Amino acid sequence: MRRLAALCELGSSRPADPLRSACRARPSAGAAALRAQTQSPNRPAACIGSAAAQTRSGLSSAPPGPLCTRPPDRPSSRPCPPAGPGGAGITSTAAPQDARIGLPAPRADGVMRHLPYFCRGEVVRGFGRGSKQLGIPTANFPEQVVDNLPADLSTGIYYGWASVGSGDVHKMVVSIGWNPYYKNTKKSMETHIMHTFKEDFYGEILNVAIVGYLRPERNFDSLESLISAIHGDIEEAKKRLDLPEHLKLKEDSFFQVAKSKIMNGH
Ligand SMILES: Cc1cc2nc3c(=O)[nH]c(=O)nc-3n(C[C@H](O)[C@H](O)[C@H](O)COP(=O)(O)O)c2cc1C
Ligand SMILES: Nc1ncnc2c1ncn2[C@@H]1O[C@H](COP(=O)(O)OP(=O)(O)O)[C@@H](O)[C@H]1O
């Protein structure tokens, strides 16, 4: 088992340590920092968040908060703060409304300053409920990736783009949190890719670019209601991802990793 150390590298162009799981904020024009990250071989788990690209998502123009923000000319590394229960508390009844879908909107400081958020890691086993109970498989990231998410990234349901290894980039929805319906005790990050794969891809590298937020996690009074909500999320995500501002992220260099540089331990 690899030993993965947590590290936040903010605005740094220092090549990533291949044995570390990293969160990285990049300035909106920080293509160099991203390139350094994506071109580093053998990287088992990495997360890259944007501190200044919130305008791309079109949801908010909130200024970056105090966490993980640093002038690009002052690169530095420091340990990631631990991800605590409740995330940034977006399930609060005081949350503002997202007028487009009539659902509670995320707190701007808990979501927008981190989007788009790039993340990759090995696909591990979850509880096996996605396919069997829900009919909606969700690929789980390892603990190290989840623990390295920004501490103030709100839990909830997001959408974006995903690829497996160096495969094609597809639309995706991702759930980050504790799955209140199942009362999980460990925070998880589970991605459903809108594509039919020929077979499971446990052990492969999953690359995700989270570009927008849909809603907080909720409890449901029946499995059917949970399934129906997830199907609603999928349809909403498909529509939103067709917006030009989101479509362009599909082509991001994050996904252009040479096949030979992908290592997943097999
Ligand atoms: C788009 C999407 C929305 C979800 N929304 C919720 C939710 O509101 N409440 C909840 O308890 N779980 C939610 N989940 C998580 C599912 O319950 C979870 O994926 C399922 O338990 C499968 O887990 P497993 O992969 O560990 O088997 C959502 C998952 C997805 C992909
Ligand atoms: N479209 C898809 N989206 C996500 N995972 C998929 C998809 N198709 C097949 N899979 C596979 O299904 C697995 C998830 O199934 P699931 O029943 O949720 O099990 P687990 O709880 O182990 O994650 C993924 O790890 C992946 O290998």
| Tokens 């094609």 sit on residue | 168
Window from 43-52, 123-132, 143-152, 234-243 with minimum mean pLDDT: 43-52
In this predicted structure, the answer to whether residue 19 has a pLDDT above a threshold of 80 is: no
Q: Are 48 and 254 in contact (CB under 8 A)?
A: yes
**DSSP output for 126-138:** --SHIIIIIS---
What pLDDT shows up at residue 209? 97
Q: Shortest CA distance to 149 belongs to which of 185, 177, 178, 184?
A: 177
CB 122 within 8 A of CB 205: yes
Mean pLDDT, to the nearest integer, of 150-154?
Answer: 92
Q: Report d(CA 187, CA 5) in Å as an integer.
A: 18
| Residue 157: pLDDT over 80 | yes
H-helix or E-strand containing 152?
none
Determine if ligand 2 sits within 6 Å of the CB of residue 235.
Answer: no
More confident residue, 115 or 110: 115
Q: Whose CA is nearest to atom 28 of ligand 1?
A: 175
pLDDT at 119: 94
Nearest CA to 36 out of 194, 254, 239 is that of 254
Structure tokens at 126: 């979850």
pLDDT at 36: 37
- What confidence score (pLDDT) does residue 29 get? 33
- Name 124's bridge partners: 140
Mean pLDDT lowest among 37-46, 116-125, 172-181, 246-255: 37-46
User: What's the pLDDT score for residue 58?
Assistant: 33
Ligand 1 atom closest to the CA of 192, numbered from 1: 31
State yes or no: pLDDT of 105 exceeds 60.
no
pLDDT value, residue 132: 87
Tokens of residue 214, six digits:
């849909």
Which atom number of ligand 1 is nearest to the Cα of residue 174?
31
Q: Which atom of ligand 2 is nearest to the CA of 200?
A: 27
In this structure, the number of other CB atoms found within 10 A of the CB of residue 125 comes to: 10
CA distance 249 to 233: 19
pLDDT for position 56: 35
Alpha-carbon gap, residue 165 to 120, rounded angstroms: 10
The per-residue pLDDT for range 225-255, each reduced to its tens digit, is 999 999 999 999 999 999 999 999 999 999 9
Alpha-carbon gap, residue 227 to 220, rounded angstroms: 10
- pLDDT score of 212: 96
Least confident of 42-46, 189-193, 252-256: 42-46
Give mean pLDDT, residues 95-124.
70
- What is the 200 CA–ligand 2 centroid distance (Å)? 6
The residues near 94 (Cβ < 8 Å, ≥ 6 apart) are none
Q: Which ligand is nearest to the CA of 174?
A: 1
Q: Average per-residue pLDDT in the chain?
A: 69
Q: How confident is the model at residue 98 (pLDDT cuts 50, 70, 90)?
A: very low
Question: Do the beta carbons of residue 182 and residue 129 sit within 8 Å?
Answer: yes
Grade residue 123 by pLDDT with cuts at 50, 70 and 90.
very high
pLDDT confidence of residue 112: 76
Q: Give the Cα separation of 14 and 33 in Å (integer).
A: 8
Domain ranges of the chain: 5-81+117-261
Asked whether the CA dihedral 97, 99, 102, 103 is positive or negative, the reply is: negative
Ligand 2 mean position, distance from CA 138 (Å): 4
For the domain spanning 5-81+117-261, the CATH number is 2.40.30.30
Q: In this predicted model, which residue has the larger pLDDT, 243 or 84?
A: 243
**Host H or E run for residue 60:** none
- The rounded percent of the chain whose pLDDT value lies above 70 is 55
